[in-house]
Structure 1
């Protein structure tokens, strides 16, 4: 199991590791926890769920303990080793499959997937293409549009092209985007760097926040509709992918579903699963979720986020490694659909093994 990483979502990945370590079927799987520090070192971690518990007062992280995990060489070798802090090298066993529960850059963007493809190591979750596409919201929207999947109207602004508030506002107006706008980094997740802009006076600050995470930023038109999400799972073998029951993010006093509301216990938001929807609405969300998954050559899993507008569902984004803590929407949707958290973890691993 691989977690942590160099992105701004390091702590969320670490918290997910705590949930997975607690729930994984120990009768079937022997877990080797490999953490990636914020500096990018691969270290052998403790197999202790409590060490990585989701605590808003003290978010978990991978700390460099001096060990270094030595990955197998290519040509079919799968032996994993560790060099301890005192220089001793130990064999850890043969790797059957890697479960990368990484979020953000250097984990959810196709880079780690390409690394394991090069080493010929089977791994769970998305592949290189779908991970890279869905990590970059600009290109994800282009791929979805090409497949006829509706997305929220947007413009993309780049720091290299100026990226100042006046030019960005002019681009948004020329694209016909109505206020409010959501300003978000193109390649970040967990709502990191996202701001809601009610009028143009707030745009400069929102761009500054987003550009702190990425040099490419999207300005999206705020859509009016219910925020619903559905989980998608690849099926082993030739069986088609399937979608969970939808869940809903209900905002009571919070402006949008931000990082605090998702992970820090912030007030003003409720995660409801299953959502109170008609059978037709559920079918429409599930069908479009599967269409979106296919449009990006989805593999393994994804959470598809929608706005359910009066004109029908509109895709906001896909996450190829969605929040996977026990309180996250993706597991909640599958639990509501009749699957346990432990069985969901097993399914991801089994699908990767079947693909290998």
Structure 2
């Protein structure tokens, strides 16, 4: 869906719509070319990123105010609109969602474990071999209660943003069991090492099954 994809591409708009639907998001600020950075409002560490980009390009983790301006300039190489968000302390998780109507299918929840730094994707020379600082586990090592909460939250995000067909909803699971939105990818990868098909496979749907269902959903959408 073009409208929802455009909405989800802008993380600040994604967060605003999600918050309006009662879904938790990080505290965040946006900075355009003519705006002053709200340094007096920030609690470090923060992530500075292009508001409308992906795959962690232009993203910096900032722990000190003196490093903030440089991180903003890095993000501005990719987008004139910059997002500054407070770091969420928790486990990075994701959920694959598929469907057009009220009945949505979710895959197994996955989990990202970091050895250092922050999660980056598609920046390796050989991504099929995995990341140099992270490992993705499917299914996630979380409780059944947390798993259900993550899947329900992912579906709520999907509906609130008007997604259709498929999306991967990225979230944080905090130590106290709270689920916080991280972002939404409305056109996730379908390679053998991509997260979306791996989550669906773990839930019993092969990559071929997923593609067949997506074609059917697309055809059904055209006939509306």
Deviation track 1:45-91 (CA, whole Å, cap 9, x = no partner) reads xxxxxxxxxxxxxxxxxxxxxxxxxxxxxxxxxxxxxxxxxxxxxxx
- Which residues of 2 match residues 26-41 of structure 1 at below 5 A? none
Superposed displacement of residue 329, structure 1? 1.1
Per the alignment, residue 206 of structure 1 pairs with 71
- Number of residues paired by the alignment? 218
- Which of these residues, 118, 139, 143, is aligned with residue 256 of structure 1? 118
Question: 2:91: which partner in 1?
Answer: 226
Match of residue 243 from structure 1: 106
**Alignment partner of 1:173 out of 3, 21, 40:** 40
Please report how far the alpha carbon of residue 220 of structure 1 lies from its aligned counterpart in structure 2 after TM superposition.
0.5
1:140-189 deviation digits (Å, cap 9, x = unpaired)? 11100110011011000001x14xxxx31xx1532xx3211101101101
**1:323 CA drift (Å):** 2.8
d(CA) in 1 for partners of 2:91 and 2:31?
Answer: 27
Q: Is the 8 A contact 2:91 2:172 kept in 1?
A: yes
Q: In the TM superposition, what are the counterparts of 1:82-121 in structure 2 within 5 Å? A: none
1:280 aligns with 2:138: no
The two structures have a TM-score, normalised by structure 2, of 0.92
Change (3 A) 1:263 1:157: farther
Match runs of 1:275-314 below 5 Å = 275-311=140-176, 312-314=178-180
- Whether contact under 8 Å (1:183, 1:219) holds in the other structure is yes
Does residue 146 of the first structure (1) align with residue 11 of the second (2)? no
User: Larger Rg: 1 or 2?
Assistant: 1
2:200 pairs with one of 316, 331, 334:
334
Deviation at 1:193, TM superposition (A): 1.0
Structure 2: unaligned runs, 5 residues or longer = none
Name which of 24, 49, 61 aligns with 1:184.
Answer: 49
Distance 2:210 2:105 in 1: 13
Asked if the contact 1:261/1:268 (under 8 Å) is kept, the reply is: no
Distance 1:151 1:268 in 2: 25
C-alpha RMSD of the superposition: 1.7
Q: Which has the higher contact order (CA 8 A, sep 6+)?
A: 2
The gaps in structure 1 that reach 5 residues or longer are 1-126
TM-score, length basis structure 1: 0.59
